[in-house]
Amino acid sequence: MSNSTASQADAAAAAAAAAGAFDFKLYRYDPSLAAAIVFVVVFAILTALHTWRLYRNHAVYFTAFTIGGLFQVIGYCGRIWSHFDDTAIGGFVMQAILILVAPALYAASIYMVLGRLIRTLHAEQLSLIPVSRLTKIFVTGDVISFTLQAGGGGIQAGGTLDLFNIGEKIIIVGLFMQIVFFGLFIVSAVLFDRRISSHPTREAAEQLIPWRRHLVVLYTVSIIILVRSIFRVVEYLQGNDGYIISHEYFLYIFDAVLMAAVMLILLIWYVDDLVGATAKRAVSTSSGSDYLMQDGFIQRRDSSRGKDYGKRTEDLAATRDSAV
């Protein structure tokens, strides 16, 4: 009898130890209703404004970016749901996945901007990566990162310890991929900046578009997203009972605020004067010089031919080709 009692005690101790080893909770705090509502409103306004600019300027390369804003709105609506029911899997999964993957959609548009900028400046020879492959490489990496993060979040929603651990590892791999590709992207942009500053093309020298400002904007938003991704990696490496995930304010400081800043920066300094690989447009600068936009390049047109295209630089956005 004593042996049986001892065995039961050992089994109970083992079960308690196992339970203590994985003390999983959807939330280790009460999700703030006020904070969630504030960022639903903030992201809804920013997304609406980006949608308007996308429609007005036909800058289709910002489509993914704008969808990312919509993901943020829905994600923080999920946190409102979780405030009223912090045990509901639906609200948790909604906010966990959509807030996690939204920056990957931002990144897709940011990658496209650099490729178009290089083409617009007719500076393909100055790019670290061939321009024909640049956007494809970075967007492909971004899609893989997006898929891993979303897939990992979906697996975690299975509700078992094994699935949670598997999903967590997949998400971490996806975040690391995002960091690596963003790092390579920043290196590519910096090298292009240095090369075109030292050996400017005619289009760059004549400042047909504010390309320096565009590069600064790309640097800024890329670094912000990179910081956020590093924060997320640290969060997931700490696990479900980690210090970061146990304190809600980290999410709002290092994710919500930073991503709202990215949307605001690219709303104020909107990049809407770039052309695609198949664009063909005739424009004239404020100095009266005629240019022909063809195959993503800006080439001077012989003014002796006496043709006035009736387009000025500031009208370029309204006539830009809609090809991605």
Question: Which residue, 199, 191, 231, is CA-closest to 215?
Answer: 191
Q: What pLDDT is attached to residue 54?
A: 93
Cα four-point dihedral sign 109, 115, 118, 122: negative
Residue 188 confidence (pLDDT): 94
pLDDT of residue 165: 84
Task: Tell me the backbone φ, ψ of residue 292, rounded to 5 degrees.
Answer: -115, 120
Average pLDDT per run of 10 along the chain, which is 324 residues long? 49 47 78 97 98 92 95 97 92 92 94 92 91 89 90 80 85 92 92 93 89 94 94 90 92 97 96 62 40 42 37 42 41
Mean pLDDT of the chain: 81
Residue 114: both structure tokens together: 């650099």
Query: In the chain, what are the helix, strand and coil shares in percent, each to the nearest 5?
Result: 70, 5, 25
Say whether pTM exceeds 0.75: yes
